Amino acid sequence: MNITTTTAISEVLSEVLERPVTDLRPEMRFDRDFDLDSYMFVQFLLGLEDKLPGLRFDPETIGQAGFNTMENLVLHVDASLAQVEPTHA
Q: What's the CA dihedral at 62, 36, 26, 86 to 10 degrees?
A: 40
Q: Which of 48, 43, 40 is nearest to 73 (CA)?
A: 48
pTM: 0.85
Name all domains of the chain by residue range, CATH numbers in brackets: 3-84 (1.10.1200.10)
Residues in the chain predicted with pLDDT less than 50, given as ranges, are 88-89
Q: pLDDT tens digits for 32-57?
A: 999 998 889 889 999 999 999 999 98
Mean pLDDT across the chain, nearest whole number? Answer: 86
Helix (H, G, I), strand (E, B) or coil at 11: helix
DSSP 37-88: -HHHHHHHHHHHHHHSTT----TTT--GGGG-BHHHHHHHHHHHHHHHSPPP
